[in-house]
Amino acid sequence: MVNTTNGEARHSSSTCYRSYLFSLLILSIIWLPAFAFAQSEEEMQTLRMYFKEDELVTAPTRAPKPLSKVAENISIVTAEEIEAMNAHSLTEVLERVTGIYVFYMINDFFKSEFLLIEGAVDGTNVNKEERHVLLLLDGIPWNFMSNGRPMTNTIPVNIIKRLEIIKGPASSVWGSSLGGVINIVTKDTGDTTVPSGTVSASFGERNIRDYYGAVAGRAGIAGYYLYAGRQDSDGFSSNRYFERNSFYGKFDVPFTSDIKFVLTAGYSKPRGNEEDNVVNDYAVLDRNSALFATATLTAEITDTLSVETSLYELKQKFVQEFNSLSTDGLLYSWAGYEKKTGGSAKLVFAKGVHNAVLGLDVNRTGLDKTEKGEWMGETVRVNPRISKWAVFVNDTISIGDLSITPGIRYDKNNVNGDFTSPSLGVTYRLDHRTILRASAARGFSIVPLLYTEGETYSDPSLKPEEIWSYQAGVESVITEYLRVKALVFHHNMKDAIVLGDTKFINAGKTRRTGTELDIETAPFHDLSMKAGISYFRKKLILEDDSSPDVDTIKDVYSYHLVFNYNDMKSLSAQLAGNYTWWSLPSSEGAKYNTAIWDFNLTKNIYSKNKLNTEVFMTAHNIFNGSYYMATLMPARQNPRRWMEAGVRLKF
């Protein structure tokens, strides 16, 4: 058994695994070409549909444009891919995306995590840098303003049509997004009077239940998409449990052929017990909620000019309670309530070589934070507020095989002042198979409200973290059956925020240099493969010794492998493995010297007209691996092997 306090032993084990993984990748690349010419015409047609380089995305510039003209490092995840994973949470989906690092604090059916994009942890358990990642749902910034963290467990994964993930700063378009953007595009309303939809139910060990229903259609001129779901679990250790009820609706009304109104609304309420700490006589209970609504009006003014205006409101709550196991009394409670109101307007001009966007964003957020309980002695309450506005402009200029995307944004708020974010991206199509990409961008991360006010470690003089990022890469379809995407990046960040002896400080500079490699194959006799490798080195250059516990250099890397089988008729299967080397100090007591593998199987058992019934099963952590960070406490350890099965009806 590997001693988890011995970093060298763990690294040796990980080196063996790394060698094994590289062997698999090399064998896959060598094996597939040998049989390429044996592919049938049907398989070749599937291949041509498989690589959609002209798929339209909106996140890079906030106007639709093809992937072949996107200079940023971007990944796309579709609803079909999410369903094939049998994913229960957004986190399960994101941990398979190359360049995204999911740092788990609680790894159960109920997951508590930090999302990092081309970023690193510093080993102090305080500055996980998750605030650098901007999460968007229907255009609403989903991050808490209190600490900057994107709360993923209030988003039901089954409402997602597509994830657009920008890796690297996107501040010239979205403002505070130093590390990247995860843009959630929700499913469309229906286009027929006869409704279509899905009803699904799955059951697993420890009373795990996940069931939902969704329906889409059109009533008169109005289109609709409605979703309702519930998840429930008794948890796998330390008396953990989790439950969540979620509702979502989208409606669209085309007033004319050129004017459309879209309304969305949703509510999600997760609740879970993190752990029972018998030794210290307390239980930790988390209660979250998110209630939101958006209204968007889009008008085509001319064939080349359109305008879109939107308004939104989001109410988020996070409550964490420490209750005594022996007396059931309240020891400590941290409650944060946020109300976020905002909107945007943009003009899109598309004519000739130009696809230009001019936009305005406004936002006002109020926080009400309360601490109370026996450990506090007295109730402490703070109510910080922040108001923000920004203007931005960008243009995608396409001249033959060359596309150039300049952009700039100016942000202003009443807490951190102002910031200007320029960017420049270039793509060049060498031929019909190969695209070159390069970009340079300046970005920032706004200082969270509680870092400047309301905590003992707050400092009102903190400055936003700033970054200059440079990325270059190539994407190519090799001999009609294999796609490879490679990228290198270099990030220079200054005014990095870390926790000093008594308060947060702008400690110094951070340099991150790394690379990513994605490999995808076309189906060969119904088999296909995806692999991703990412690596970065983070170096923190401290200006003083105010934060002595921070590691100044870290090397972090991860691997992802997915093997798919799909006969395009009734049977599909998937084997997926994830591994990350976190380079944590031995004092953290972490264990991550093995990959975690999941297996999914789906079988269509009945089809007639538009009615399809399928059964599915998932074996989680099939090799019983250990993967946890931060502590050896049982409550933080990941579940061992567990099974679930279900049925899905589509109509």
pLDDT on residue 319:
95
User: What is the model's pLDDT at position 560?
Assistant: 94
- 506 occurs within a structural domain: yes
Backbone angles phi, psi at 59, to 5 degrees: -60, -40
Q: Which helix (H) or strand (E) holds 603?
A: strand 596-608
CB count within 10 Å of CB 406 equals 16
For 370, the 3-state DSSP assignment is strand
Q: For position 633, what pLDDT does the model report?
A: 57
Asked whether residue 192 is domain-assigned, the answer is: yes
* Alpha-carbon gap, residue 512 to 554, rounded angstroms: 9
Per residue in 227-264, is it b (16+ CB within 10 Å) or e — as a string?
A: bebebbbbbbbbebbbbbbbbbbbbbeeeeeeebebeb
Number of domains in the chain: 1
* Cα→Cα distances 410→310, 355, 525, Å: 20, 20, 52
| Residue 300: inside a domain | yes
| The 3-state secondary structure of 140-207, one letter per residue | EECECCCCCCECHHHCCHHHEEEEEEEECCCHHHHCCCCCEEEEEEECCCCCCCCCEEEEEEEEECCC
What pLDDT was estimated at residue 239? 81
**354-372 and 259-277 as β-strands: parallel, antiparallel, unpaired?**
unpaired
The pLDDT of residue 30: 36
Position 47 in a domain: yes
Q: Do 507 and 542 contact (CB within 8 A), yes or no? A: yes
Cβ neighbours of residue 124 closer than 8 Å, sequence gap 6 or more: 498, 499, 547, 549, 550
pLDDT of the residue at 9: 39
pLDDT 10s digits, 400-425: 999 999 999 999 999 989 999 999 99
pTM over 0.75: yes
Identify the domain containing residue 250 by its residue range.
Answer: 7-650
Q: What is the pLDDT of residue 125?
A: 40
- For residue 99, what is the domain's CATH number? 2.40.170.20
* Phi/psi at 641 (5° precision): -55, 135
- Asked if residue 396 is part of any domain, the answer here is yes
Residue 311 resides in a domain: yes
Say if 2 falls within a structural domain.
no
Report, as ranges of residue numbers, the positions in the chain whose pLDDT lies below 50: 1-51, 120-127, 547-548
Asked whether residue 1 is assigned to any structural domain, the reply reads no
Alpha carbons 497 and 451: distance in angstroms, whole number: 9
Residue that is written with structure tokens 């007639």 in the block: 608
Residue (of 398, 404, 399, 401) closest to 428 by Cα position: 401
Q: Which amino acid is at 78?
A: T
Query: For residue 475, what pLDDT is reported?
Result: 94
